């Protein structure tokens, strides 16, 4: 190190000066003070150093003032030439207002072979960089530099080095370290430039290809015009539409192939029309459009609760689905598309419980679009998968049309009445739905018309059905079944008050101040005017009552002769005036007042219902006659019931067992309604035993269950629907199979409070409690496990 020199110092914020550089600096107050001090007291020399945020710079450059003047903008400036690197010492006093420091010049040792090798490598990299810019004069200047330290400091002019790297070079006095840093940075820059040049070349080649194709198309159009064979109308438009559309890669390739056929074909070719229709269909599909799911779980549940009363199972399942998607989105996990990411729910229940309207409510809660696909009566497989394009009038299937109508790839699609799908010589639509409703397969659903993969994995499918027995087992296995078994009487009152009555008031142009329908009247309407699991007929009755109320409000005579009122109140006292006589009354007492009649419970496509089974005996040679349009399973149940009663006649206290050897006639009204199923077994046993004993069955008792030859009561289905029907019919005691006891957890509490549900495993226990009086058999009726 040389002896320290006292110099004024100038700290620069936006410029890093390395030895050998000649740069202009703008003279603000601090710069003016340093330049003036250098001119007057330091022989025209000053120290230039970068201004750092966290500390004072350790190194700077000793510079001389070359010239002073003004910039083009008129601001005062000075041109300085950096001479050599210096270490900054402590501050000292000096004349003027400038800051003075001690500066020690950094001396460099003679270069050895390592330094020369690094300098040669760096010079080659610099020359290579300059050649890319055609900077030949600068290359000559670089080639003339032999001082290794000066060569390294030329990096102060490099535009690809930022100020931080230049400050690092300034504070690195060792030449080897400086050259090593520069070689690494320069190589990184050259690699980046090469990548950018390759990208630019690819873009240029793509543009040249597009221009070449454009010119060729123009020439082809001119040739066609000269030959009198103009290109098919719209072919060019289709190509531009396909290229501009947001399509998946495979779909784009297929579409461009079809556009090529359209351009090469003749306008007279019938294939041109097919291609245009196919292209229109493909371009209308929302291949990459998706709506954003709602993330507010509480708000979604509030929407469901506002639209539908009850149906807790369905609401819970939808909220669970939404909560999982929100959780995955919150944690940055993939939530769109892919194998197994969809959901398929089957809403099974009788008519009028709100299955179809629930679809729109679910879509609104999720923030998705909604589309309904009616499947009732569909018998053609092509309705699901589409037609082959070789057929005249071919169209895509209903699933593809539903996605196009929805305008997004994640709508809520309601497959309405899926249990009404049929099959004939045109195929089985239910089999075609297997792929649509399989979350593990439908991400590559292929419609026969499109012939390209369509991702259905993010679609929320809701299927509705009245009975699951009509749905093929393979299709049912792909869906998550949610049962909607009907409403209790209290549920119906709440639905009528909160949903049906306001809607019908609006349709009748009435207000709640003009017409009031009391809860007592609604309860009577639900109990005595309807016998349905849903509320569709109840809504019709409300509409009928409001129509009659409207006639009173417009001035027509009232049934009671009153003048035009300002307000109508419909209650128990005048309900008959508006709806007529009640259509239903409890008939269990009347029907079971004679021996041989028992009240059973059944499930139909319309929900649960009571079933009266009658048994009678007439003289003859013996035999069993069955009437009431019974199916094979129910006929076998009747034979099993008769065999059991005959085998256990003495134990049951039947004093005239010969009556069972006469002609036995079992009838199940109504005769016009087909009936089948095993769950009437215990009811038939009860009816036969009642007939043989000559004692009636209790009128408040209902029963359900399959029976074996040994009297074992086996489990059945539809317990909730049957108990709801029992409540509607006014029964107070119901016998169910012991093994169906866990199903009582799904039964509403108000139903269990109104009905004494007794699980039994032996039909003898049922008979002992269902038939009036006591069984006086000589032996207990018990059996071993069946």
Q: Tally the residues of the chain.
A: 786
How many CB atoms are closer than 10 A to CB 621? 7
Greatest alpha-carbon span in the chain: 147
Q: What is the 3-state secondary structure (H, E, C) of 524-538?
A: HHHHHHCCCCCCHHH
What residues have CB less than 8 Å from 522, skipping those under 6 apart? Answer: 492, 493, 496, 497, 501, 542
Residues 46 and 8: their CA atoms lie apart, in Å, by 5
324 is in an annotated binding site: no
Residues 258 and 242: their CA atoms lie apart, in Å, by 10
Catalogue the long-range contacts made by 199-206 (C-beta closer than 8 Å, 24 or more residues apart). Answer: none
Query: Annotated active-site positions, please?
Result: 679, 722
352 is in an annotated binding site: yes
Backbone angles phi, psi at 61, to 5 degrees: -125, 140
Residues 501 and 540: their CA atoms lie apart, in Å, by 10
Cβ–Cβ < 8 Å for 403, 285? yes
3-state percent helix, strand, coil for the chain, nearest multiple of 5: 45, 20, 35
**Numbers of helices and strands, H then E, in the chain:** 27, 24
Nearest to 17 by CA among 118, 97, 119, 86: 86
Which two three-digit tokens encode residue 487? 């409403």
Residues 485 and 748: their CA atoms lie apart, in Å, by 11
557 is in an annotated binding site: no
Residues 238 and 244: their CA atoms lie apart, in Å, by 10
CA dihedral for 162, 166, 167, 168, sign (positive or negative): positive
Residues 714 and 710: their CA atoms lie apart, in Å, by 11
DSSP string over 393-449? T----HHHHHHHHHTSSS-EEEEETGGG---BTTB-HHHHHHHHT-TTTGGGEE-TT
DSSP 664: E
198 is in an annotated binding site: no
Lookup result for tokens 């006014």: 730
Residues 356 and 359: their CA atoms lie apart, in Å, by 6
Q: 3-class DSSP state for residue 665?
A: strand
681 is in an annotated binding site: no
Residues 473 and 434: their CA atoms lie apart, in Å, by 11
367 is in an annotated binding site: no
708 is in an annotated binding site: no
DSSP 512: T
Task: Give kind and range of the element (H or E) at residue 541.
Answer: helix 536-553
Residues 636 and 104: their CA atoms lie apart, in Å, by 116
351 is in an annotated binding site: yes
Lookup result for tokens 């419970």: 601
Catalogue the long-range contacts made by 20-23 (C-beta closer than 8 Å, 24 or more residues apart). Answer: 20/82, 20/150, 20/153, 20/154, 20/156, 21/61, 21/81, 21/82, 21/153, 21/156, 21/157, 22/66, 22/79, 22/80, 22/81, 22/82, 23/79, 23/80, 23/82
Residues 77 and 27: their CA atoms lie apart, in Å, by 5
Give burial (CB, 10 Å; 0-12/13-18/19+) of 623: exposed
Annotated binding site for ATP: 349-356
Annotated binding site: 349-356
């Amino acid at each position: 190190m040389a002896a320290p020199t006292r110099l004024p110092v100038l700290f620069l914020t936006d410029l890093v000066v390395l030895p050998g550089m000649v740069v202009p600096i703008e003279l603000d107050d601090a710069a003016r003070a340093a330049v003036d001090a250098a001119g007057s007291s330091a022989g025209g020399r000053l120290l230039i150093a970068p201004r750092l945020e966290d500390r004072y710079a350790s190194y700077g450059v000793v510079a001389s003032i070359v010239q002073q003047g003004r910039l083009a903008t008129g601001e005062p400036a000075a041109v300085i030439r950096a001479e050599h690197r210096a270490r900054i010492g402590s501050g000292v006093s000096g004349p003027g207002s400038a800051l003075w420091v001690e500066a020690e010049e950094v001396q460099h040792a003679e270069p050895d072979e390592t330094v020369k090798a690094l300098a040669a490598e760096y010079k080659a990299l610099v020359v290579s960089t300059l050649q890319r810019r055609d900077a030949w004069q600068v290359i000559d200047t670089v080639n003339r530099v032999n001082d290794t330290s000066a060569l390294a400091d030329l990096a102060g002019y490099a535009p690809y080095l930022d100020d931080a790297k230049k400050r690092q070079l300034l504070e690195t006095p060792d030449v080897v370290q400086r050259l090593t840093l520069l070689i690494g940075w320069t190589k990184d820059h050259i690699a980046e430039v090469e990548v950018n040049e390759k990208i630019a070349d690819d873009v240029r080649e793509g543009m040249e290809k597009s221009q070449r194709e454009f010119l060729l198309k123009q020439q082809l159009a001119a040739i066609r015009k000269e030959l009198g064979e103009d290109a098919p109308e719209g072919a060019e438009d289709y190509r531009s539409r396909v290229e501009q559309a947001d399509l998946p890669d495979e779909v784009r390739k297929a579409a461009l192939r079809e556009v090529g056929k359209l351009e090469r074909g003749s306008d007279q070719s019938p294939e041109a029309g097919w291609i245009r229709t196919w292209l229109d269909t493909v371009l209308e599909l929302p291949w990459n459009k998706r709506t954003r799911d709602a993330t507010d779980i509480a708000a979604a549940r509030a929407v469901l609760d506002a639209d539908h009363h009850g149906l807790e199972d369905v609401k819970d399942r939808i909220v669970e689905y939404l909560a999982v998607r929100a959780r995955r989105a919150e944690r940055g996990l993939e939530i769109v598309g892919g194998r197994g990411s969809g959901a398929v729910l089957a809403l099974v229940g009788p008519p009028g419980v709100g299955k179809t309207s629930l679809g729109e409510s679910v879509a609104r809660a999720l923030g998705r679009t909604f589309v309904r696909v009616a499947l009732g009566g569909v018998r053609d497989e092509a309705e699901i998968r589409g037609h082959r394009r070789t057929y005249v009038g071919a169209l895509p299937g209903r699933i593809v049309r539903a996605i196009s109508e929805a305008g997004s790839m994640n709508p809520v699609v309601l497959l309405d009445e899926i249990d009404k799908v049929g099959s004939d010589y045109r195929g089985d639509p239910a089999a075609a739905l297997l792929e649509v409703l399989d979350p593990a397969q439908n991400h590559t659903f292929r419609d026969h018309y499109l012939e390209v993969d369509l991702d259905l994995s993010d679609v929320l499918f809701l299927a509705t059905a009245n009975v699951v027995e009509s749905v093929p087992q393979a299709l049912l296995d792909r869906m998550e079944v949610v049962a909607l078994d009907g409403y209790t009487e209290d549920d119906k009152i709440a639905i009528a008050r909160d949903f049906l009555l306001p809607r019908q008031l609006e349709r009748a142009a009435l207000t709640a101040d003009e017409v009031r329908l009391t809860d007592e009247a609604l309860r009577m309407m639900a109990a005595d005017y309807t016998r349905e699991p849903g509320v569709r007929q109840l809504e019709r009755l409300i509409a009928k009552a409001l129509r009659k109320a409207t006639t009173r409000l417009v001035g027509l005579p009232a049934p009671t002769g009153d003048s035009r009122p300002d307000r109508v109140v419909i209650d128990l006292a005048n309900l008959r005036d508006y709806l007529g006589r009640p259509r239903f009354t409890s008939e269990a007492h009347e029907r079971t007042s004679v021996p041989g009649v028992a009240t059973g419970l059944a499930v139909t496509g319309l929900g649960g219902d009571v079933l009266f089974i009658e048994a009678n005996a007439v003289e003859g040679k013996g035999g069993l006659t069955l009437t009431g349009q019974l199916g094979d399973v129910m006929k076998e149940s009747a034979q099993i019931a008769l065999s059991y009663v005959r085998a256990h006649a003495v134990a049951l206290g039947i004093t005239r067992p010969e009556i069972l050897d006469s002609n036995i006639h079992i009838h199940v009204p109504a005769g016009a309604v087909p009936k089948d199923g095993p769950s009437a077994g215990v009811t038939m046993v009860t009816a036969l035993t009642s007939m043989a004993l000559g004692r009636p069955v209790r009128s408040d008792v209902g029963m359900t269950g399959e029976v074996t030859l040994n009297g074992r009561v086996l489990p059945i289905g539809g317990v909730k629907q049957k108990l709801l029907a029992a409540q509607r019919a006014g029964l107070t005691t119901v016998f169910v199979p012991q093994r169906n006891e866990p199903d009582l957890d799904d039964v509403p509490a108000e139903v269990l409070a109104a009905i004494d549900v007794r699980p039994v495993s032996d039909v003898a226990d049922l008979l002992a409690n269902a038939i009036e009086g006591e069984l006086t058999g000589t032996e207990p009726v018990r059996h071993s496990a069946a």
